[in-house]
Structures are given as structure tokens and as C-alpha cells.
Amino acid sequence: MKEISEGTPPEGKKISGAWAALSPAEKKRELFRRQKELLATFLATGAISQAQHDKSLNCLIEKMGIRENAGERGAEGKVRR
């Protein structure tokens, strides 16, 4: 797996002023948001099942150490829509 330095943007993207101005924590949160949006797109187009979406999202949250807003999760700990 290729190491990415902290200031490096996603592969294939030029560093924009907005990206460069973000702190490492903000960059992490933005990358998480993009991944979450991509999973939602896959689900909406039928590329993945609801079960795979939920599993992948929970794995992403765990691996990135993201703490989502409490209002986004149901009593079972699953993400609400």
C-alpha cells in the first residue's frame, strides 16, 4: 500500500487552495465524507446491498476513527438515513 504524506491530496487531484488550507483533521473528515457519499451512491444504484453498505460504512468509521454525530445513529448503532 502506498504511503501518503499528511499534506498529499487524493491521488490524481491537484492541491487546491481550499484543500491546502485544511488541517489534517479536516482533511480526514472530508475524505470520510467523500467515502460515505460514494457508498451511498453505490447503494442507490444497486451496486451494493444495504447489508454491504452498512458493513462497509461501519468498517470505515472504525478504521478512520470517526465519531459521527449522535443523531445520525439509531439505537442499534446503525447509521440512519
Rounded to whole angstroms, how far apart are CA atoms 23 and 7? 9
pLDDT, average across residues 12-37: 87
Residue 22's φ and ψ, nearest 5 degrees, are: -75, 145
Query: Please, which pLDDT band fits residue 70 given cuts at 50, 70 and 90?
Result: very low
Q: Give SS3 for 51.
A: helix
- Dihedral sign computed on CA atoms, order 52, 55, 61, 64: negative
Amino acid 76: pLDDT: 42
pLDDT tens digits, 27-64: 999 999 999 999 999 999 999 999 999 999 999 999 99
Give the predicted TM-score (pTM) of the model: 0.62
Rounded to whole angstroms, how far apart are CA atoms 41 and 48? 9
